Amino acid sequence: MKFKKYKLTISLFFTLSVLITIIGMFLHNNILVKSNSLLINQKPDISSKVENKVNIGTRLQIIGSKNHWYRVVYHKNKIGWVPKWSSNRIIAPKNNKLAQSTIVLDPGHGGSDSGALSSNNDYEKKYTLIFAEKTKKKLERLGANVILTRNKDEFVSLQRRPQIASDNKATIFVSFHFDSSNSKNSASGFTSYFYHPNRSYKLAKSINNNLNNLPLKNRGTDFGNYLVIRDTVTPSVLLEMGYINNDKDFSKIKNLSYQNTVSNDVCNGIRTYIDKEYK
């Protein structure tokens, strides 16, 4: 009798272990959608046709992955693709393509490369990181997947920066900088540079148009032969957000209100561009 009870206990324990393993595997290969209007694409690409959308509480079965996208089964028998990051967003990305975008933000200079100097010898590299980090937080709240080329004071080569965008199949690349003139206080304002025509030009125009409310002169968009926006196929722009050796400009650059306004405007410019390009 004791032996039979012992066998029964072992059998129940084994069955329970198998069930726990199966449930664990099931949950590991599933996504519980945490936002409303999550877009399901036909292919693993932001430019792909949107097949459907699912709402909070929907469970997606992962059956594959490619280029930072999951291939999933939804509504029992339908198949499509969702970005890995947006499928787990708690803040709802409301039916927009920005939530399917990977955006690489490039804080210029860093480490041994200090960039330009202000009149009181503040480094450009300090402020490029501040502006990029603020923009990153705002874009992430809108559902985007955002990658910084550096997140601390470290040297990153010029060649490596656009490569990060290529490696991550980025939708957009934005490089933050501050201008400097040959003599102190001889120039003022901000400029949005592009290298490649078509999408990069459109991106520069979209961002620049959203910067019109800044307290500095808008010098418009211009062609710029800069390696970080030249040696990439990703739509890219380099922003010079004021002259760091101009006392008036620098008073704005280090001002929290200016920093927040720029980051908001850049986000709006990016969102406008993506909404138009990826309808």
Q: What is the tens place of the pLDDT at every residue in 226-241? A: 999 999 999 999 999 9
Same domain, 150 and 12: no
Going by pLDDT thresholds of 50, 70 and 90, the confidence category of residue 12 is: low
Instruction: Enter the tokens of residue 126.
Output: 């300090």
Three-point CA angle 133, 137, 142, nearest 5°: 145
Same domain, 31 and 150: no
Domain residue limits at 166: 97-277
Averaged pLDDT, 155-181 = 97
Q: Say if CB 117 and CB 164 are below 8 A apart.
A: no
Same domain, 55 and 116: no
- 1 burial (CB, 10 Å; 0-12 / 13-18 / 19+) is exposed
Same domain, 107 and 206: yes
Instruction: Enter the tokens of residue 203.
Output: 């991106």
Q: Which amino acid is at 101?
A: S
Q: Is the pLDDT of residue 224 over 90?
A: yes
Predicted confidence at residue 35, as pLDDT, reads 76
Going by pLDDT thresholds of 50, 70 and 90, the confidence category of residue 27 is: very low
Most confident of 55-69, 96-110, 249-263: 249-263
Q: How far is CA 100 from CA 205, 217, 275, in A?
A: 22, 33, 11
Same domain, 80 and 114: no
Same domain, 131 and 75: no
Instruction: Enter the tokens of residue 175.
Output: 């490089």
Predicted confidence at residue 229, as pLDDT, reads 98
Q: Which of 88, 119, 154 is the last residue of a domain?
A: 88
Q: Which of 88, 114, 148 is the last residue of a domain?
A: 88
Read off the pLDDT of residues 77-126 as tens digits, 9 standing for 90 and up.
Answer: 899 999 888 766 544 455 478 989 999 999 999 999 999 999 899 999 99
Same domain, 63 and 102: no
Averaged pLDDT, 3-18 = 55
Predicted confidence at residue 22, as pLDDT, reads 40
Read off the pLDDT of residues 127-136 as tens digits, 9 standing for 90 and up.
Answer: 999 999 999 9
Q: Is the pLDDT of residue 3 over 80?
A: no
Same domain, 69 and 105: no
Q: Say if CB 142 and CB 79 are below 8 A apart.
A: no
Of 28 and 224, the structure prediction assigns the larger pLDDT to 224
Average pLDDT over all residues of the chain: 88
- 187 burial (CB, 10 Å; 0-12 / 13-18 / 19+) is middle
Same domain, 44 and 134: no
Q: Which of 88, 117, 145 is the last residue of a domain?
A: 88
Out of 59-68, 79-88, 170-179, 195-204, least confident range: 79-88
Averaged pLDDT, 142-160 = 96
Same domain, 167 and 67: no
Instruction: Enter the tokens of residue 141.
Output: 């709240």
Name the 3-class secondary structure at 25. Answer: helix
Same domain, 74 and 101: no
Cα distance between residue 217 and residue 207, in whole Å? 15
Most confident of 28-32, 41-45, 146-150: 146-150
Going by pLDDT thresholds of 50, 70 and 90, the confidence category of residue 162 is: very high
The model carries a pTM of: 0.84
CATH number, domain of 56, equals: 2.30.30.40
Q: Is the pLDDT of residue 20 over 50?
A: no
Same domain, 220 and 267: yes
Q: How far is CA 97 from CA 16, 39, 66, 214, 273, in A?
A: 44, 8, 18, 27, 10
Predicted confidence at residue 125, as pLDDT, reads 98
How many domains in the chain?
A: 2
CATH number, domain of 246, equals: 3.40.630.40
